[in-house]
Structure 1
Amino acid sequence: MTDATLSTVRNAARLLKAFLTREESIGVSELARRLDLGKSGVHRLLTTLAAEGLVEQDPRTGGYRLGIVVFELGEAVKVHMDLHAAAGPVLAHLRDQTGESSQIGVLDGDEVVYVDRLESAHSLRLFTETGRRVPAHCTSSGKVLLAHLPEPEREAFLARPMARLTPHTVVDPAVLRAELASVRARGWAEAVDEREIGVASIAAPIRDIHGDVVAAVSIGAPAARFGTVPRRRFARDLVEAGEAVGRRLGWNPELAARGREA
């Protein structure tokens, strides 16, 4: 990235911050004055930001104000902040209940980002730091999140090439599509030796106040300790943990069930 590009990005950020004054709208000349930039440069920045939905022009005054995308970004930040607060106690209980590492993952493009994590007390454990990104198609958290995407988005994901990280990684779209349908039906997902040989995990969905799946809660362990029997035994605990976080976010599964029956 060139110095000129960095300067443009910095000026775009400064321009967006100028709207923190919460004025109804601000004109090009006034923005140029506040930022000590040329009017033509500010106009080009505004045109680009408007094309991306970050600002919009007030048809009445001709000035500019923040666009709907900024609101949506703010809501996304709020969800993640709320998610951290809601998940903390549940993660601690899940880790103590199962004895295994527990984490919260969210979908970002084709990857899962772990936004919260508590490590197992076992001497033999996994080391996946908070903030780490992993491919969605070969992790239990990713499968949960992909399974609950709107169908067009899910199909768009399945149409893209998927990396085979181990001999057990599912890269056939038809096979993965069927597995995602099974995840939706039973309420949880698993991945064994798919991202890394010797690693197993299970995951369950977390829903927000609207019932949308916004994250996944998972537990992972060395596959030698986390075989089929313990995975099945802990699956119910994991689903309940996901529901507990969802309740703390405002989701009411009883109301949702009644709504489906109506």
Structure 2
Amino acid sequence: MVQAVHRAVQILRELASGGPRLGVTDLADRLGVAKPTVHALLRTLETEGLVSQDKDSAKYQLGPGLVQLGNSYLDTHELRTRSLTWADALAKRAGEAVWVGVLTGDHVLVVHHAFRPEGAVQILEVGASIPWNTCALGKAIAASLPAAERERLLTGERAVLTGASVTARNELEHQLTDVAGAGYAVEDQESAIGDAGIASPVFDRSGEVVGAIGIVGPVERMLGEPARQELAVAVRETARNLSRDLGAPRRAAYTPGP
């Protein structure tokens, strides 16, 4: 590991989580690194457009160069590219918003968001990072991971976003077993009060899970019967078709019925 690169990444992460702005002293204290070292790294990052300095406070914040890098990541991400048409079709079929997510560490990163068809004002959630245990996308992915990766998630820190967030290992294990059997995961107000989600895993040509696609919307529209089963069928079918589009073997793309 190259220490200077590692520290530069740490600086970017601190600015992302500790913002909106941090000074050299703040960052040096957080990283346990000498101030001259932090200052030199910040100047380099500023030259590359990855951080910018506020003229009034002399503190630093994330720079516009990160937007370009983020857009490039999304533009070249195969799952996102392949999911565009499928997500739009699912949104029209379900009448709800559709998210596509990938696992990064112990969070799910939303890489695509298809708005629900109605014309109400909606907030684009691309780039949102959600703890895996609080969303249907995360549970759909976790249930399909190799045992070692699933164990890493289950033994790691589990976030609490609402009173309904599930953190108990035994309950999560039970949920993941149910997800593997049903082919879809459900989230009931675990990341935001009033919202629910239904998601299914997506596989690539190697047969490994690469992400998930799911519907998100108001709990009263999502989880009441018969809507819940109808939406689950739609999500499973879309995930299966998207997996096949990514070249997944038929067995990997298969998801069982209710």
**Alpha-carbon distance, 1:231 to partner:** 1.8
TM superposition shift of 1:255: 8.3
**What is the match of residue 166 of structure 1?**
162
Distance 2:253 2:188 in 1: 32
Specify which of 224, 230, 234 is matched with residue 231 of structure 2.
234
Is the 1:125–1:222 contact (alpha carbons within 8 Å) kept by the matching residues of 2? Answer: no
Judged with a 3 Å threshold, the aligned counterparts in structure 2 of structure 1 residues 126 and 143 are, in CA distance, closer, same or farther, namely farther
Code of the residue aligned with 1:91 in structure 2: it is A
Residue among 250, 253, 262 paired with 2:250: 253
Deviation at 1:125, TM superposition (A): 7.8
Over 3 Å counting, the alpha-carbon distance change for 1:202 and 1:124 in structure 2 is farther
Partner-residue secondary structure (3-state), 2:111: strand
Instruction: Describe the SS at the equivalent of 2:211.
Output: strand
Q: CA deviation at 1:233?
A: 1.1
AA of the residue aligned to 2:105: G
- The answer to whether the aligner puts 1:3 opposite 2:39 as a matched pair is yes
Q: Residues 125 and 221 of structure 1 are in contact (CA less than 8 Å); yes or no, is this contact kept in structure 2? A: no
Q: Normalising by structure 1, what TM-score?
A: 0.67
- Among 240, 244, 249, the alignment partner of 2:241 is 244
Counterparts of 2:251 and 2:146, CA distance in 1: 23
* Structure 2 SS opposite 1:210: coil
Q: Aligned AA for 2:107?
A: E
Q: 1:81 aligns with which of 77, 80, 90?
A: 77
Preserved contact between residue 170 and residue 176 of structure 1 (Cα < 8 Å):
yes
For residue 173 of structure 2, what is the aligned residue in structure 1? 177
Give the letter aligned to residue 196 of structure 1: A
- What's the counterpart of residue 213 of structure 1? 209
Instruction: Please tell me whether the aligned partners of residues 94 and 241 of structure 1 are also in contact (alpha carbons under 8 angstroms).
Output: yes
Question: 2 CA distance for matches of 1:217 and 1:255?
Answer: 15
Q: CA deviation at 1:9?
A: 7.3
Contact persistence 1:101–1:126 (CA under 8 A): no
The answer to whether the Cα contact below 8 Å between 1:94 and 1:238 also exists between their aligned partners in 2 is yes
Q: 2:114 aligns with which of 115, 118, 124?
A: 118
User: Of 98, 101, 119, which residue of structure 2 is paired with 1:102?
Assistant: 98
Q: Secondary structure at the match of 1:206?
A: strand
Matched, 1:191 2:187: yes
2:138 counterpart letter in structure 1: G
Inter-partner Cα distance in structure 1 for 2:239 and 2:134: 20
Instruction: List runs of 5+ in structure 1 lacking aligned partners.
Output: 12-76, 258-262
Shift of 1:108: 0.3
| Contact kept in structure 1, 2:162 and 2:192, CA below 8 Å | yes
In structure 2, distance between residues paired with 1:123 and 1:248: 30
Are the aligned partners of 2:202 and 2:209 in contact in 1 as well (CA < 8 Å)? yes
Q: Which residue of 1 aligns with 2:134?
A: 138
The aligned length equals 193
CA distance in 1, matches of 2:216, 2:244: 23
CA RMSD of aligned residues (A): 2.6
Q: 1:130 to 1:78 in 2, by over 3 A?
A: closer
Instruction: Tell me which residue corresponds to 2:53.
Output: none
- Distance, in Å, in 2 between the alignment partners of 1:255 and 1:120 is 29
Q: 1:127 to 1:255 in 2, by over 3 A?
A: closer
1:56-67 correspondence runs (5 A) = none
Q: Which whole-Å CA distance do the structure 2 matches of 1:101 and 1:255 have between them?
A: 26
* Identity across matched positions, percent: 30
Q: Distance in 1 between matches of 2:125 and 2:147?
A: 31
Work out which of the two has the higher radius of gyration on C-alpha atoms and give 1 or 2: 1
Q: 1:123, CA displacement in angstroms?
A: 5.7
Q: Which runs of 5+ in 2 are unaligned?
A: 1-10, 12-37, 48-72
Structure 1 segments, 4+ long, off by >6 Å, are 7-11
